[in-house]
Amino acid sequence: MTRARSLVWLLVTSAATMAAFWILLHQISAVWLDVALHPEVRAALERSLDDQKQLRALDPAQRENYRARFNETRRLLNRMEVIRLNREAMLRRFELALLGVFAIALLAAAVVTWRRHRRMQDASRREFLERVAALQETARRHAHEIKGPLTAARLELDRLGELARSGGDVAEAQESVAQELTRLARFTTEFSQFGGLGEPVLRRESLAALLDEFCATFANAWNGVTLRVTEPSHASVCADRDMIRQVLINLCTNAARAGAQSIAFTIGRNTVDVRDDGGGIAESLRARIFDPYVTTRKIGEGMGLGLSISRKILLDHGGDLVLAETSPSGTVFRLIFRELTC
Amino acid sequence: MVRRCCALLLLLVPALAFAQPRPPAVALQNGALTATLPLEVLNDSAVRKQLGSGLTTTFLIIAREGKALSAARLEVRYDLWDEVWLVRRIEFDRRGDVQRVTSREALEAWWRGPVRLIARAPRSRLQIELTVLPFSAAEEEDARQWIAKSGGVGTANSGSLVDALIGTTISAKPIVSYRWDVEVPAR
């Protein structure tokens, strides 16, 4: 019903616009044509003919010149007469042609609008489906993360009960339950981080010092991955040291999981490039890499919140975190700090 | 009495409105059929007005006998400089004559001259159509070119759409046209 009404409305407005255009066009065309064919113009030209004829009598020596001018004027009058005789047909034909062009333009605009509308509808549907699919994936991950430790703890508790009844050694089972509870705690910590990110406490920090300390502290954090600062610099930025460290940890963890052997930090004026020699990021993921819950890991191996948290931290600093480049031979993330006074 | 007059007027008015000149006089001359157009055509008010316009008034005569067609043409132009009539007769075989006539009387005398219309004598009846056009094909073309140039589109790179628009718009619409069924005289 709504579509039918829209169509009727479109037709009525198009018809009204075309009618208005027609009237306007008729007025304009008629004015110009009538100016060209104005009786006063014709009368003046006819007087000019009479003048040439009189001049012929007064100055017979110039007779041929007067005749040439006479013929010229007469030809002009003839043309005007031909146009006058075709006035209505000309007006009608030109109006129809212009109206046709206008109608085609109107139709083209309608088609373009309709197609854009359809595209937007399709995009909206696709976006909705993607959102639902992402939520389904998230729910699956959540369920798996919680269900795994719970099931294991439950089994261990059963075993603990049997051991208690038989007088066996309960220490091992206790340790196992504790481990499962730790896994649950780690899972909730990730969410706490995501949900509970506070405002950064900004202090002027030397990027070189911050990165040197990070490299020293986390030198052995990721097996087989070497950390180094390639270009020492005196640049300093306003940053929350702990939060930036969290960002660097997230980036280095991802790089190590992508198979990187080396991670290099390059300091710019107010940037830090984190370059790894891992396998790069798949093209299909690049546009969504900073969205929450986007991950290549299997269910149970992480929630895909690390890059979201990292970018949020940099945005809270007034800067940004961007994917500068990525290829099968490595990836560069750029931390951009805004030049702030702190 | 008044009612009768009114009824008579009601009958006469349409008859007068749609009255057309008597048919052309046809005759056989050296095996060809000739037609002499009635003077009423030349004296028709619309035709008279057009004759003084300086354009070439063209009288196109078409004879039909079944599917067979034959045509002749008369052209009349008043030369405003010399104040004479330039008349031209083009017969079915494209032969004809050009004359300068100096008065209306002479023009009427020329008009009364027969026009060879068909090469052979038709069997019994034929249909004659007369169409009076306000200007000649040459004048039409001249005006068309002039408009095209005035609109800045008459050059080699002109828009063909506009040219086509002008070319198909300007045409000689008949001032008057008549159609007669004519009896062919016996040989």
Contact call for A79 and B171, based on CB within 8 A? no
Q: Does B135 touch chain A (CB under 8 A)?
A: yes
Give the pLDDT confidence of A145-179 residue by residue, as tens digits.
788 778 888 888 888 888 888 887 888 878 888 88
| CA-based R_g, chain B, Å | 20
Among A22-36, A109-123, A156-170, A308-322, the minimum mean pLDDT is found in A22-36
pLDDT-based confidence at residue B73 (cuts at 50, 70, 90): very high
* pLDDT confidence of residue B17: 45
Q: What is the mean pLDDT of residues A80-92?
A: 87
Written as one letter, the residue type at A309 is I
**Closest alpha carbon within chain A to B140:** A82
Of B175, B136, B169, nearest in space to A89 by CA = B169
Contact call for B173 and A83, based on CB within 8 A? no
Q: Per residue in B56-78, is it b (16+ CB within 10 Å) or e — as a string? A: bbbbbbbbebeeeebebbbbbbb
* pLDDT confidence of residue B127: 92
Among A212-221, A296-305, B166-175, the minimum mean pLDDT is found in A296-305
Which of A77, A94, A97 has its CB closest to that of B54? A77
- Rounded to the nearest angstrom, the minimum Cα separation between B187 and chain A is 44
Of B110, B71, B118, B104, nearest in space to B88 by CA = B110
Which of A78, A89, A94 has its CB closest to that of B139? A78
Give the pLDDT confidence of A211-262 residue by residue, as tens digits.
999 999 998 889 889 999 987 788 899 999 999 999 999 999 999 988 999 9
Phi and psi of A143, rounded to 5°?
Answer: -60, -45
Give the pLDDT confidence of B20-66 residue by residue, as tens digits.
788 999 988 888 889 999 999 999 999 999 998 889 999 999 999 88
- Rounded to the nearest angstrom, the minimum Cα separation between A40 and chain B is 16
Q: What is the mean pLDDT of residues B154-176?
A: 67
pLDDT-based confidence at residue B9 (cuts at 50, 70, 90): low
- Rounded to the nearest angstrom, the minimum Cα separation between A93 and chain B is 7
Written as one letter, the residue type at A318 is G
- Rounded to the nearest angstrom, the minimum Cα separation between A54 and chain B is 10
* pLDDT confidence of residue B139: 92
Which positions in chain A touch B54 (Cβ < 8 Å)?
Answer: 74, 77-78, 81
Q: Among residues of chain A, what percentage have pLDDT more than 70?
A: 96
Q: Does B98 touch chain A (CB under 8 A)?
A: no
* pLDDT confidence of residue B16: 45
- Rounded to the nearest angstrom, the minimum Cα separation between B70 and chain A is 28
Which of A79, A93, A97 has its CB closest to that of B143? A79
**What 3-state DSSP class applies to B30?**
coil
Contact call for B139 and A83, based on CB within 8 A? no
A-B CB pairs within 8 A amount to: 60
Alpha-carbon distance B128 to B116, whole Å? 13
DSSP conformation class of B186: P
Average pLDDT score, chain A:
86
Give the global pTM. Answer: 0.54
Contact call for A79 and B142, based on CB within 8 A? yes
Length of chain B: 187
Contact call for A94 and B146, based on CB within 8 A? no
Helices (H) and strands (E) in chain B, counts: 6, 9
Q: What is the mean pLDDT of residues A266-282?
A: 93
- Rounded to the nearest angstrom, the minimum Cα separation between B42 and chain A is 20
**Position with higher pLDDT, A318 vs A36:** A318
Contact call for B165 and A71, based on CB within 8 A? no
DSSP conformation class of B136: -
Which of A49, A83, A94 has its CB closest to that of B143? A83
Interface of A with B (CB under 8 A): 49, 53, 67, 70-71, 74-75, 77-79, 81-83, 85-86, 89-90, 93-94, 97
A241 neighbors A200 (Cβ within 8 angstroms): no
Cα A289 versus chain centre, distance: 15
* pLDDT confidence of residue B156: 45
Which positions in chain A touch B55 (Cβ < 8 Å)?
Answer: 78, 81-82
Which positions in chain A touch B146 (Cβ < 8 Å)?
Answer: 79
Q: Does B106 touch chain A (CB under 8 A)?
A: no
Contact call for A70 and B135, based on CB within 8 A? no
Which of B134, B147, B168 has its CB closest to that of A85? B134
CA torsion angle A98 A100 A101 A104 (round to 10): 160
* pLDDT confidence of residue B121: 74
Among A9-13, A261-265, B52-56, B110-114, the minimum mean pLDDT is found in A9-13
How many Cβ atoms are within 10 Å of A25's Cβ, its own excluded?
18
CA torsion angle A100 A105 A108 A113 (round to 10): -140
CA distances for B182 relative to A303, B26, B127, angstroms: 104, 8, 6
How many Cβ atoms are within 10 Å of B136's Cβ, its own excluded?
19
Contacts (Cβ under 8 Å, ≥6 apart) of B60: B71, B73, B130, B131, B132, B133
Name beta bridge partners: A275.
A264, A332
A199 neighbors A316 (Cβ within 8 angstroms): yes
Write out the H or E segment, with its range, that includes residue B132: strand B125-133
Task: List all residues of chain B from 27 to 86 with a beta carbon under 8 Å from chain A.
Answer: 53-55, 80-81
**Closest alpha carbon within chain B to A84:** B170
Which positions in chain B touch A82 (Cβ < 8 Å)?
Answer: 55, 134-135, 139-140, 142-143, 170
Contact call for A90 and B169, based on CB within 8 A? yes
ipTM entry: 0.77
Among A36-50, A125-139, B63-77, the minimum mean pLDDT is found in A125-139
Alpha-carbon distance A44 to B7, whole Å? 49
How many Cβ atoms are within 10 Å of B27's Cβ, its own excluded?
14
Q: Among residues of chain B, what percentage have pLDDT more than 70?
A: 79
What's the 3-state SS for chain A? CHHHHHHHHHHHHHHHHHHHHHHHHHHHHHHHHHHHCCHHHHHHHHHHHHHHHHHHHHCHHHHHHHHHHHHHHHHHHHHHHHHHHCHHHHHHHHHHHHHHHHHHHHHHHHHHHHHHHHHHHHHHHHHHHHHHHHHHHHHHHHHHHHHHHHHHHHHHHHHHHHHHHHCCCCHHHHHHHHHHHHHHHHHHHHHHHHHCCCCCCCEEEEHHHHHHHHHHHCCCCCCCCEEEEEECCCCEEEECHHHHHHHHHHHHHHHHHCCCCEEEEEECCCEEEEEECCCCCCHHHHCCCCCCCCCCCCCCCCCCCHHHHHHHHHHHCCCEEEEEEEECCEEEEEEECCCCCC
Which of A67, A77, A82 has its CB closest to that of B140? A82
Q: Does B127 touch chain A (CB under 8 A)?
A: no
